[in-house]
Structure 1
Amino acid sequence: MFQLRITSSKLLVLAGALFLNTALSLPQAVAGQVSPPPLVLSPNLAEPWVLQLQPRASRRAAAPVQRRQVVQPQVRRANWWSPRQQPVRQQPLRQQPQASAPKSRQTAPQFLPTIVDYDGKHKPGTIVIDTNTRHLYLVQNDGTARRYGVGVGKPGFEWAGTHKITRKSEWPDWRPPAEMRKRRPDLPTFMAGGPQNPLGARALYLGSTLYRIHGSNQPWTIGHAVSSGCIRMRNEDVMDLYERVGVGTKVIVI
């Protein structure tokens, strides 16, 4: 019994000595351990978590992280005086503008020659010119009249009266009177007869006046008040009238 107690005490002493030896040798064992493996970094040293491992001074010197920004296109208001500043846009196909209809060079249908009934008081062979309706009538023997469209004097140049044809001329020359050249200094003093002559193909002179029934190289003016007092006709119409009347024919302008 006594021997067993001694043995227990020895065991306790040995256990304490072992514990003390282990405690004293533990730091040395820890100090003698192999160093941990080095930290392996990602090849992309610009990653944000890597930058956090660097010292503060190094972090300032590190290249800034470049992030791709998506920029929304801005549509600028059209600047008409500086086309280069306008955004480039795909233009829709433009339709070719339709050519505007050229001004009619023809006489209106109501001023083309025709045969009409006539029950007036004037004798056959008389020429009656109605400046209001812009028509010339040649009275015939069968109760009808040949009607032609005419151009008459513009405002300020209207006139009325009764005259006789005193002269006839084919492709007449033109000598603008002094009064006309005073108003129009650009007019020539003389123009030989021909297609470009304003008197046209034929002229019927009225008494001692400066007025005439004559043709025109501007048929679209027939039916309008455009002349300086003369009575205009289409060239083909004045040629037809020229053959139907002679010197001395009575002309009544109303």
Structure 2
Amino acid sequence: MSSRINRRHLLIGVSAIGAGLAAPAIAQTGGLRRNASSFTMPDWRDHFDDLGVATLISDTTSRAVHYWSGDGADYRIYPTSVPMSDELTKRGYTEIVRKKVGPDWTPTQSQRERFGWEYMPPGPDNPLGTHAMYLGWPAYLIHGTHDTRKIGRPSSDGCIGLYNHQIEELFGICPVGTQVRVI
């Protein structure tokens, strides 16, 4: 075996060193996290004793909602928007208590004070999109959005948002009583 370094070996070596140096630099970008690097695949058994009528796990770190049917035969995953800050994020166990097609929206007192927002009837400007599933926590929903730029980002005031066509699908397969965990 020759100990000579040819151009190919030099390029491979420099590339490897460059990749090794870039990783710590990326890690030190002020805590910026990319969705792909923070994605996890939760197992419902780590959160619930059984699947109930259906199960949702909303993972705010990987910005995804995971769905399992009550019999475990159907598993789906949806990209989501998440709350803008930890202070706005409610975590824990709840369930879907009500569902509505064409929801209207009434901002919370805090939203009215901070942004001057007012009541919004159903329609294309409504921030709840085309479908909403209300959780057992007041003012927390899983809903659609007409603003597709919000999906995959921390952009909500506490709710979990999905693309309208995906909330419509999820709405159709999640009965009232679906157990939900926000992590």
The verdict on a shared fold, with TM-score over 0.5 as the criterion, is yes
Match among 136, 142, 150 for residue 80 of structure 2: 150
User: 2:6 maps to what in 1?
Assistant: none
User: 2:15 maps to what in 1?
Assistant: none
Match among 90, 107, 125 for residue 176 of structure 1: 107
Unaligned stretches of 5+ residues in structure 2: 1-35
**Residue identity in the other structure for 2:75:** A
Q: What's the CA shift string for 1:173-230, capped at 9, x where partnerless?
A: 1111111101112x12x11101221100000001142100000011121111110000
Identity %: 34
Greater strand share, 1 or 2?
Answer: 2
1:200 is the counterpart of 2:123: no
Regions of 4+ moved over 4 Å: none
**Residue identity in the other structure for 2:88:** F
Match among 162, 170, 179 for residue 233 of structure 1: 162
Q: What's the CA shift string for 1:91-140, capped at 9, x where partnerless?
A: xxxxxxxxxxxxxxxxxxx7xxxxxx874404331101110000100014
- Residues 118 and 145 in structure 1, CA contact (< 8 A), matched pair in contact too: no
Match among 161, 164, 173 for residue 244 of structure 1: 173
User: 1:165 maps to what in 2?
Assistant: 96
Whole-angstrom CA distance in 2 between matches of 1:165 and 1:193: 20
Q: What's the CA shift string for 1:129-165, capped at 9, x where partnerless?
A: 1100001000144566200001010023122011111
User: 1:215 maps to what in 2?
Assistant: 144
| RMSD across aligned positions (CA) | 2.2
Give TM-score scaled by structure 1 length: 0.51
Whole-angstrom CA distance in 1 between matches of 2:74 and 2:173: 15
User: 1:132 maps to what in 2?
Assistant: 61
Whole-angstrom CA distance in 2 between matches of 1:174 and 1:218: 15
SS of corresponding position for 1:168: strand
Give TM-score scaled by structure 2 length: 0.70
Correspondences of 1:36-75 after superposition (within 5 Å): none
If asked which structure has higher relative contact order (CA below 8 Å, sep 6+), I would say 2
Q: Which has the larger radius of gyration?
A: 1
Whole-angstrom CA distance in 2 between matches of 1:120 and 1:215: 24
Whole-angstrom CA distance in 2 between matches of 1:119 and 1:171: 32
Whole-angstrom CA distance in 2 between matches of 1:221 and 1:192: 20
Q: 1:119 to 1:194 in 2, by over 3 A?
A: same
- Residues 95 and 180 in structure 2, CA contact (< 8 A), matched pair in contact too: yes
**Residue identity in the other structure for 2:99:** K
